[in-house]
Each structure stands twice: as C-alpha cells, then as structure tokens.
Amino acid sequence: MFAKITRIDTRYSFNYNETIMFCVPKSKIPQALGERGSNLKRMSDILKKRIRILPIPRGDEDLESFIKMIVAPVEFKEIKFNGNEVILTAGIQSKAALLGRNKRRLIEMQKIVKDFFGKEFKII
C-alpha cells in the first residue's frame, strides 16, 4: 500500500509505540509525505494508525539521530556505544516512557536496533 500511494518502494517498515514507521531515502521524504502531508493522511485514514516517515540510516554514525526520531517527543540524556552494545541513559520520567508497559517499547526498540545496526540495546 505504501508503494502504491507514494510511488516509492521501501522494504524498511516497523512498528513502535502503536505507530507504523517507514524508512525511505532522505531525498525521497518529500515525495513520500505528499503535498501538505496528503499521502501520510491518506495512509493513516486507511490503516487507522499513526504513520511516520524516516530517512534510512546510513550506518552507525546515524544511530543516535535515528533513535531520537523514533522516540520523539521523549527526550533522553545521552547514548553510549560500548562495543556491540548501545546504552541509552534517561531520566526517571523519560525512562518510564521509553520502557513502556511490560517493557513493550524496550522490546520493540531492541528489535529495531538489532535489525538495522546489529547491536544490543539497553536503557539505564
């Protein structure tokens, strides 16, 4: 459906916090959104879910900005790279929002980071 509405093929899509996120090349984001967000609204109305469009990360250098875009508007203090681990530090309120009920959001983020970057993800 995404390809039919936006005329952009993407194989990167995932769910996070009841939102469907599609990753497209950075240069194709305006085309994916449509004029005044028309494509986004149309998909959202059809699927009855929130939709977000993100640029495809190019590697580990995009990891921090990619995570910030996914969890927005929740803020975190810092992100550290320890070998094959990504450790996110957050305050009490932000940590609760990042973990979610029954650690649902943590599990979703762990899967996303593993799929895109091949690293383990932790929140402290």
Q: Could you report the per-residue pLDDT of 59-87, keeping only the tens digit for each?
A: 788 888 888 888 888 888 888 888 889 89
71 and 46, same domain (yes or no): no
44 and 89, same domain (yes or no): no
CATH classification at residue 29: 3.30.300.20
38 and 84, same domain (yes or no): no
How far is it, in rounded angstroms, from Cα 47 to Cα 103? 25
0.85 exceeded by the pTM? no
106 and 77, same domain (yes or no): yes
pLDDT in tens, 4-53: 888 888 888 888 888 899 999 889 889 888 888 888 898 889 989 999 99
Preceding peptide of 25 cis, ω within 30°: no
Classified as helix, coil or strand, 88 is strand
How far is it, in rounded angstroms, from Cα 80 to Cα 122? 10
- pLDDT at 72 (0 to 100): 86
42 and 66, same domain (yes or no): no
Beta-ladder partners of 80: 87
69 and 44, same domain (yes or no): no
